[in-house]
Structure 1
Amino acid sequence: MTDYLTIGSFPVKMVWLAILGSALIAYGILFVKIRKEPDKKQLLDVLSNAIGIFLLVWKFSYAILHPLLIIKHPTSILYFNGGETGIVLGIIGSILYILVAASKRELDKSRVFYIGILGLTLYFAAYYGAHFASTTLLADGLVSLFFSILSLYLYTKGSFEIRKTVLSMLVTALFFSVLTNSPLSGQKTSKEAVEAASYGIKKGDRAPNFELKTIEGETVKLSDLNGKVVFVNLWATWCPPCRAEMPEMVRFYRDHSSKKVEILAVNLTDSDSEKEVKKFAQSYKLNFPVLLDPDGKVGNTYKTVTIPTTFIINKKGIIEQKHIGPMSYDMMEEFYKNAQ
């Protein structure tokens, strides 16, 4: 699936459009399924609130997991979330809410969980179907097919007892576990594909080389870093999301500096100030190379419109990922793992 849809100069992540579209499809089918039920409104209200609680807990769990960072950099909460741990906390919060809300409204818990599981399977069927349609990746097609069959079964079977609902959840979890650890979970870049890759700024292209000075006056050349995973981060001191991601990048670099990974923070100095960059680097205690791009050559080469923008380059100099917006520690971990 294409990473971004650009509307004017504003980039919209395609994954969020896929999430929204899939959620609307699932909601529409659920509405049809229970349209004649006398407690339809209560069921949909409970499940909608549960989704809202999940999103809130997932988003703001970052403050629970990293309280010191939030105290030092409060704006971080605007850009980051609790990652995988936040997802688990969000699921727990949603389940607890459903149990309490179902009891207060005197709803049958089995029916509430049944409708919830049906909604999730419909959502995943649509979401991975959209991925499969845009990428033709076999793993996405298999996931979508699995959830489509499970959705049809749940839709036609009717209300489950809780134990059957839980069983369907366990089967789903097992399926995902097997799939994500199988060869179908991803495709490695072949040596031939790497050698044939042309220079460019799209995923799969060979990253354009550049040579810049650091704020200490040392020369850094991108091509000299072959053999390392390189994060080329384009930023400016006046950019709020750039400021928010810097503590996350410092943490990541501190934990991974002994590994074959490098961060090149390329400051767009043609729209910034070298003096401000040096003050910023000292204030945020940046522990990775900060490069100056006074003529905007690298910014132009990498066609940087929105900042921060980060290119993740693998050990052979091939662009594995382009990310627009601030990065969290967990995101960098995932990018690093995928670029190995």
Structure 2
Amino acid sequence: MENYLSIGSFPVKMVWLAILGAALIAYGLLGLKLRKEPDKKDLLDVLSNGVVLCWFVWKISYAVLHPILTVKQPFNLLYFSGGETGLVLGIIATLLYLLRTSGKCELDRGRVFYAGILGLTLFFTFYYGAQYISASLLADGLISLFFALLSIYLYTLGSFELRKTVLSMLVTALFFSALTNSPLGGKKEDAKAVAAVASGIKPGNRAPDFELQTIEGDTIKLSDLRGKVVFVNLWATWCPPCRAEMPEMVRYYKDHSSKDIEVLAVNLTDSDSEKEVKKFAQDFNLNFPILLDPEGKVGDTYKTVTIPTTFIIDKKGIIKQKHIGPMSYEMMEDFYQAAK
């Protein structure tokens, strides 16, 4: 299954569809659970506002964590977030909001947190269930099963007592800790299977080889970079999200170019201009190889419809991931760790 759905030339990540679907189902079931409660509307409003606040803080925290980049490229706020640090800030802000608002609206805090935990367990049940069904991942299936059992307990036998809510949170935290440190946290790779994969552009295929010239006139061949994790980034100067991700890529390459990492920025020169590419590289202080694809052969081979598109290729030349859209520093690090 592809990790995105293309609507025309606009890519929609499947994971976001799973998140939206799971959230709607969880909200509906939570509303059904609270249907006889006199303060149902207040509870649902407070929790919904808490979710929106968490998302907003997570998104806007990029400006707090990277103020200089935000000033230089304000549109980065459209494409990037504060990552894990931003998520923590969002959770803290949401908890403070729930504590303050529940008191202001005269809602029992135990009821608010119970309803919140129930909503979260319902959400994770369906979210990981969708991931398991689409990709048949054992770990996701077990997580979904765990949350399903916890949801049934909270939905049928749980009360609004805070102690039960706290217990549920502790059990969930322990479960994730055990999962992270178990063999389920990763998958073993069959070396023979990897060696036998066919060339193609899907994860698991051997990356199609190509040879292009850089803007300096040097020649780079993809297969010569075996032994390194390679980011093959297809882009153009006229593409706003491409412009947004370049400072992030420059920052990442500066910190990691001494490692077994290479970034190949393949410009789709058949729809661009070599003159503009060189000016762009100078304006953005690009520190990684900029390759020219004047006939669009690499773009065609890698079937690039939407840009930027990046293929993350492991040390054996196997495509580990295909990412559509701009990359942040944190995303590149995650891709590298998964591919090395």
User: Is this contact kept in 1: 2:4–2:14, CA < 8 A?
Assistant: yes
Q: Distance in 1 between matches of 2:170 and 2:332?
A: 30
User: Is this contact kept in 2: 1:110–1:159, CA < 8 A?
Assistant: no
Query: Is 1:168 aligned with 2:168?
Result: yes
Q: Distance in 1 between matches of 2:73 and 2:170?
A: 39
Which residues in structure 2 correspond to 1:8-157 (within 5 Å)?
8-157=8-157
Matched residue, 1:302: 302
Matched residue, 2:209: 209
Q: Deviations over 1:114-148 (max 9, x none)?
A: 00000000000000011111111110110001000
Q: Distance in 1 between matches of 2:231 and 2:158?
A: 50
Q: Deviations over 1:80-99 (max 9, x none)?
A: 00000011000001111111
1:193 Cα deviation from its structure 2 partner = 1.3
Secondary structure in 2 matching 1:206: coil
Tell me which amino acid in the other structure corresponds to 2:285: K
Q: Distance in 1 between matches of 2:299 and 2:92?
A: 43
Query: Is 1:268 aligned with 2:268?
Result: yes
Larger mean CA deviation between 152-161 and 82-91 belongs to: 152-161
Which residues in structure 2 correspond to 1:217-236 (within 5 Å)?
217-236=217-236
Q: Distance in 2 between matches of 1:166 and 1:293?
A: 57
User: Is this contact kept in 1: 2:311–2:322, CA < 8 A?
Assistant: yes
Q: Distance in 2 between matches of 1:288 and 1:214?
A: 10
Secondary structure in 2 matching 1:2: coil
Tell me which amino acid in the other structure corresponds to 1:292: L
Secondary structure in 2 matching 1:204: coil
Runs of 4+ in 1 over 3 A off after TM superposition: none
**TM-score computed with the length of structure 2 as normaliser:** 0.98
User: Is this contact kept in 1: 2:158–2:164, CA < 8 A?
Assistant: no
Tell me which amino acid in the other structure corresponds to 2:15: V
Secondary structure in 2 matching 1:77: helix
Tell me which amino acid in the other structure corresponds to 1:74: P
**Structure 2 residue runs without a partner (length 5+):** none
Larger mean CA deviation between 67-76 and 237-246 belongs to: 67-76
1:19 Cα deviation from its structure 2 partner = 0.2
Secondary structure in 1 matching 2:12: strand
Tell me which amino acid in the other structure corresponds to 2:181: N
Tell me which amino acid in the other structure corresponds to 1:258: S
**TM-score computed with the length of structure 1 as normaliser:** 0.98
1:175 Cα deviation from its structure 2 partner = 1.0
Secondary structure in 2 matching 1:26: helix
Query: Is 1:326 aligned with 2:329?
Result: no
Q: Distance in 1 between matches of 2:237 and 2:181?
A: 41
Query: Is 1:315 aligned with 2:304?
Result: no
Q: Distance in 1 between matches of 2:34 and 2:132?
A: 29
Tell me which amino acid in the other structure corresponds to 1:37: E
User: Is this contact kept in 2: 1:139–1:185, CA < 8 A?
Assistant: yes
Secondary structure in 2 matching 1:151: helix
Larger mean CA deviation between 75-84 and 174-183 belongs to: 174-183
Larger mean CA deviation between 69-78 and 110-119 belongs to: 69-78
Tell me which amino acid in the other structure corresponds to 2:123: Y
Tell me which amino acid in the other structure corresponds to 2:39: D
Q: Deviations over 1:246-292 (max 9, x none)?
A: 01001111111111010000000011111111111111111110000
Q: Deviations over 1:47-71 (max 9, x none)?
A: 0000000000000000000001111
User: Is this contact kept in 2: 1:237–1:243, CA < 8 A?
Assistant: yes
Tell me which amino acid in the other structure corresponds to 1:136: S
1:75 Cα deviation from its structure 2 partner = 1.1
Secondary structure in 2 matching 1:168: helix
Tell me which amino acid in the other structure corresponds to 2:94: S
Q: Distance in 2 between matches of 1:225 and 1:93?
A: 45
**Structure 1 residue runs without a partner (length 5+):** none
Matched residue, 1:259: 259
Secondary structure in 1 matching 2:307: coil
Larger mean CA deviation between 174-183 and 39-48 belongs to: 174-183
1:74 Cα deviation from its structure 2 partner = 1.1
Matched residue, 1:279: 279
Matched residue, 2:338: 338
Q: Distance in 1 between matches of 2:84 and 2:67?
A: 17
Q: Distance in 1 between matches of 2:289 and 2:181?
A: 35
Q: Percent identity?
A: 74
1:8 Cα deviation from its structure 2 partner = 2.8
1:324 Cα deviation from its structure 2 partner = 0.3
User: Is this contact kept in 2: 1:18–1:130, CA < 8 A?
Assistant: yes
